[in-house]
Amino acid sequence: MTVEKQYEVIGTRPIRPDGTDKVTGRALYGADIRLPGMLYGMVLRSPHAHARILSIDTRKAEALPGVRAVVTAADLPDLESKISELGEGTINLRYQSNNVLARDKVLYFGHAVAAVAATSIHVAEEALGLIDVQYEVLKPVLTAQEAMRPDAPILLEELRTDELGAKGTTPTNIAEHSQISRGDVEKAFAEAAVVVEREFTTATVHQGYIEPQNSTALWNVDDQLTIWCSTQGAFGVRDQVAEILEIPVSKIKVIPMEIGGGFGGKIGVYLEPIAALLSKKARRPVKLTMSRAEVLAATGPTSGSYMRIKMAANREGRITAAQAYLAYEAGAYPGSPVGSGAAVIFAPYKLDNVLIDSYDVVVNKPRAAAYRAPGGTNAAYAAEVVVDELAEKLGMDPIDFRILNGVREGDKHPGGSEYPRIGYIETLQAAKNSPHYQSKLEGPYRGRGVAAGYWGNYGGKSSASASLNPDGTISLVEGSVDIGGSRASIAMQLAETLGVAVDCIRPSVGDTDSVGYTEGTYGSRTTFATGWAAYELGNKLIQEFKARAAAYWEVDPAQVAYAKGVLTCNGRRLTLADLGSQMDDMGGPISASASVRAEKWGPAFAVHIVDVEVDPETGKVDVLRYTAAQDVGTAIHPSYVESQIHGGVAQGVGWGLNEEYVYDAQGRLLNASLLDYRMPTALDLPMIETILVEVPNPGHPYGVRGVGEVPIVPPAGALANAIYRAIGVRLNELPMSPARILAALAAKK
């Protein structure tokens, strides 16, 4: 489908401005930093999943030649509890500090306990072995169901359940119970023609970014702290470090390096406060870089979960009731994405009767971090399997069933908000009419599955600034870390606003001292919100151009016209190159800045179709064909939109078929490497077909709605439905690995 309004720049496919540096190896990532006198740091991590720290003796490590500093939690301020926003969620800053360096207890295998800085990485590693930590080992709890039992070991003695807004009085592992309720589900279930109820579990999975976490810090003699790191948001790092170390934000400068992936996993801080403390003690710059094993064991994966879903429909095929029980693992500290899961689970469907109970549960695993539509994949997997079974029992085509029950503009989200203009029905129709869905799939042990997905998206705070160069080009500085081509998508919106070619815009990502406050690259917000800032910036520049030309021509600014980089008035003409090259005659340098708090972000929907073939002898699933249809609002750069969809599908396939953390009974991670943690490669995937449905978001000047997160929501559900049609058994556990498929086939026999 095409956008109703046509643009000159938007919708084209220019080469990304950072591409050459990245393919030639000139781009600098966090681990590339080299500073004079730099020391190398390493972190000592807990071998236990749950234990009290009785003592830490660092004297031998400090005496080792070459060691310049050793730090433990005793070097951190002992913070009071304080809730703070952290990207896609909130965090108690006391817990955040304790996650950086364990204070009284270790709560997961790999929990940081101490750190050293030395003249070489080898000396630092040797020093770790000299730190003597005495533990009292405690029994771990590794699943939400286990942690919720009355007799379960307690992780955080001070934790009390927030029970529908009221604080409990007894120690617990349940941090919060929240509820969404509308109508009368019990009455609707009793009157329904068809009812389906199922239980589901999903495993802990990691974002799988290529570049490990890293941080280099220089705590200067004037108490100015500079941090170079791989992060999704420089201002978020600045704010977290300021809170954890109790120093003013004005004393901290964060320089975001190029980032080798994040997907939500590089919002929180792990190494940055440690590097800062080591640098302060050693009076030298200190660099820390995680190994892959540390990344998997000690950074935030997404939540494993336990879910019960019940849905009902009448004889005409309309869904009459939906109920969900969601228990998500938060990891060691509260803050799972169960709230987002509740927002996603029934979002594509019109519902008069709905009840969703959500539980945030702490377990002895790393504190959960965001992962691309956090909480959404789990929830959609469960709901879409049940929706598929409802359609089957009613004898309806799975897409027709969704079209009949799908939300439209004016319908209410389960949480109560009213949908603005959305393109869900158009996306369903595009999927139904696709060559893939219209084709035949034949052969034994082959099946086709369909699933839908939703993500609410976000806007938030963004800033950008620009200046006119003497040759008429524009230097653009924006505050959003570029993960998926946002330099290009933001520059394109500025170019569209100014009416110039995108090659005239020279974009760069600024540090926290170089651009106004900008939230991180998360929530599918960057092209939407920072693009809006670029739109406002372009309009400010146009007004400045007109004012300068008017002063030069000695006319009123209202008499000056501007179009496509040219100013005119009464037959006189100035190009931007004229304006830039004659700055001295035009009143000096020309620049502008813009900051926005973007709201009215548009929800996004996707519909995925997948064909699979299952080997009954091995349980292996081959993905034969995959099509993803998605309402993308306005595709600013279609190639990048397609790439976002490809990436989400690839990650969703991994989540659905293979990826999971494997722990032993003591809570030790057994597959902390990419050899054992099985992510899909190009050999595991077909060419992914995309259908871009462009229903512009009326809340944005260019119709933008976020596209990066919803593609990971439907894959697991679509795969589960395809596998069911291939083998005749519905699987209720992720990943749907060969072993689980063989077990399901054996149980069927």
List, for residues 208-233, the tens digit of each pLDDT value. Answer: 999 999 999 999 999 999 999 999 99
pTM of the full predicted structure? 0.97
Helices 234-245 and 93-100, packing angle to 10 deg: 90
What letter represents residue 290's amino acid?
M
List, for residues 95-109, the tens digit of each pLDDT value. Answer: 999 999 999 999 999
Question: What's the confidence (pLDDT) of residue 1?
Answer: 46
- Greatest CA span in the chain, whole angstroms? 90
CB 732 within 8 A of CB 200: yes
Going by C-alpha positions, the residue among 452, 447, 347 that lies closest to residue 736 is 447
Average pLDDT over residues 276-293: 98
Contacts 24+ apart (CB under 8 A), 444-447: 445/613, 445/614, 445/615, 445/616, 445/726, 445/727, 446/611, 446/612, 446/613, 446/614, 446/624, 446/725, 446/726, 447/611, 447/612, 447/614, 447/721, 447/722, 447/723, 447/724, 447/725, 447/726, 447/727
200: pLDDT strictly greater than 70 = yes
Residue linked to tokens 């590097």: 275
CB 434 within 8 A of CB 627: yes
Q: Report the mean per-residue pLDDT for the chain.
A: 97
Q: For 14, left (φ over 0), alpha (ψ -120 to 50), or beta?
A: beta
Average pLDDT over residues 487-516: 98
Domain range list for the chain: 19-26+459-598, 33-138+210-261+266-298, 305-457+602-748
5: pLDDT strictly greater than 70 = no
Estimate to the nearest angstrom the gap between the alpha carbon of 412 and the chain centroid. Answer: 25
Average pLDDT over residues 449-470: 98
Task: Say which residue, 83 or 475, is predicted with more confidence.
Answer: 475
Question: What's the confidence (pLDDT) of residue 3?
Answer: 43
Question: What's the confidence (pLDDT) of residue 88?
Answer: 67
Average pLDDT over residues 664-672: 98
Question: What's the confidence (pLDDT) of residue 749?
Answer: 83
156: pLDDT strictly greater than 60 = yes
Can you tell me the distance from the alpha carbon of 593 to that of 589, in angstroms, rounded to the nearest whole number? 13
Going by C-alpha positions, the residue among 748, 384, 413, 732 that lies closest to residue 602 is 413
508: pLDDT strictly greater than 80 = yes
2: pLDDT strictly greater than 50 = no
Residue linked to tokens 């945030």: 360
CATH for 19-26+459-598 is: 3.30.365.10
Can you tell me the distance from the alpha carbon of 112 to that of 294, in angstroms, rounded to the nearest whole number? 10
pLDDT band (50, 70, 90) for residue 82: confident
Question: What's the confidence (pLDDT) of residue 252?
Answer: 98
What percent of the chain has a predicted confidence (pLDDT) above 70?
99
pLDDT band (50, 70, 90) for residue 83: confident
CATH for 33-138+210-261+266-298 is: 3.90.1170.50
List, for residues 554-603, the tens digit of each pLDDT value. Answer: 999 999 999 999 999 999 999 999 999 999 999 999 999 999 999 999 99
Q: Which fold has domain 305-457+602-748?
A: Aldehyde Oxidoreductase; domain 4 (3.30.365)
344: pLDDT strictly greater than 90 = yes
Average pLDDT over residues 84-98: 83
Question: What's the confidence (pLDDT) of residue 4?
Answer: 52
Average pLDDT over residues 133-155: 98
17: pLDDT strictly greater than 70 = yes
Q: CATH topology of 19-26+459-598 equal to that of 305-457+602-748?
A: yes
